[in-house]
Amino acid sequence: MRTLGAADYAATVSGPGIVVVDFRSALSGSSGAFSAVLAAVAARHPDLIFAAVDTQVEEALAADLGVRSAPTLMVYRDGVLVFAEPGWLPEDSVDLLLATVRALDMAAVVAQYPEPLD
């Protein structure tokens, strides 16, 4: 699992494929438990990118992304944020989430939720 910070977050999540990001804190017991869950899931999905953001070190990044608690899970597919929820999930639920993300019709997702104009 790679560690992300403000300097490389956007470049990592905006690329092709699926990126799973765990916003975690060493002060949170739930974060520690969820880290173990994601490590097991990552072993079953070697084609995906699994990354972690330390919310204590990257406070500004977490705030910019609306992360208010740790753990928070975000999943991107082809540069589009398709899932973001606080709390942790059991392994089978993460596997189901990833199967759902893999099955998304990304053309339909982008058509339904186009990027906002600047």
DSSP E strand stretches across 1-118 = 2-3, 18-24, 49-54, 72-77, 80-86
pLDDT digits (tens, 9 = 90+) for 87-118: 989 999 999 999 999 999 988 888 887 776 55
Is pLDDT of 54 > 90?
A: yes
Mean pLDDT along residues 64-82: 95
Look up the pTM and report it: 0.92
pLDDT digits (tens, 9 = 90+) for 4-46: 999 999 999 999 999 999 999 988 888 999 999 999 999 999 9
Burial class (CB in 10 A: 0-12, 13-18, 19+), 3: exposed
The answer regarding whether domain 2-86 maps to CATH 3.40.630.10 reads no
Partners of residue 18 on adjacent β-strands: 77
